[in-house]
């Protein structure tokens, strides 16, 4: 199973972050299936890739350390595909989503740490 993670510190109020992330994930052609104030789950749209390559994106927003000006969050991007190649489908989607977060104009990126 391929799995990639990244943590971010963003300059944005936690109350504004979740709706902006939902919109961003939808703009990245993902189907947002579930969300709360501190968690979002989205998947690739059925039929766009083989089932084993379908990517699931989980966003975890850290409410416990959030302030009015700074919010921490992590993303986990995974699928059932074995990561036999470095540049596999899951890795490509991970890089795309990570770049979308880093370049988003609705917040200021303070720190990004890929794991």
Residue ranges covered by each domain of the chain: 2-114
Q: What is the residue whose two structure tokens read 């939808």?
A: 26
CA angle 14, 45, 84 (to 5 degrees): 95
pLDDT given at position 33: 96
Distance (Å, rounded) from C-alpha 103 to C-alpha 94?
14
**CATH class of the domain comprising 2-114:** alpha beta
Q: In whole angstroms, what is the distance from residue 55 CA to residue 46 CA?
A: 10
pTM: 0.91
The pLDDT value recorded for residue 83 is 80
pLDDT at residue number 81: 87
Higher pLDDT, 81 or 97: 97
Asked whether 109 and 102 are in contact (CB, 8 A), the reply is: yes
Helix, coil or strand: residue 74: strand
């Amino acid at each position: 199973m391929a799995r990639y993670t990244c943590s971010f510190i963003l300059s944005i109020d936690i109350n504004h972050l979740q709706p902006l992330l939902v919109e961003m994930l939808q703009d990245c052609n993902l189907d947002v299936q579930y969300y709360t104030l501190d968690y979002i789950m989205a998947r690739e749209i059925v039929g766009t890739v083989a089932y084993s390559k379908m990517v699931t994106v989980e966003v975890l927003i850290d409410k416990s350390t959030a302030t009015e000006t700074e919010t921490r969050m992590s993303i986990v991007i995974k699928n059932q595909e074995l990561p036999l190649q470095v540049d596999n489908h899951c890795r490509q989607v991970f890089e795309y989503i990570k770049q979308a977060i880093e370049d988003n104009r609705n917040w200021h990126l303070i720190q990004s740490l890929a794991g």
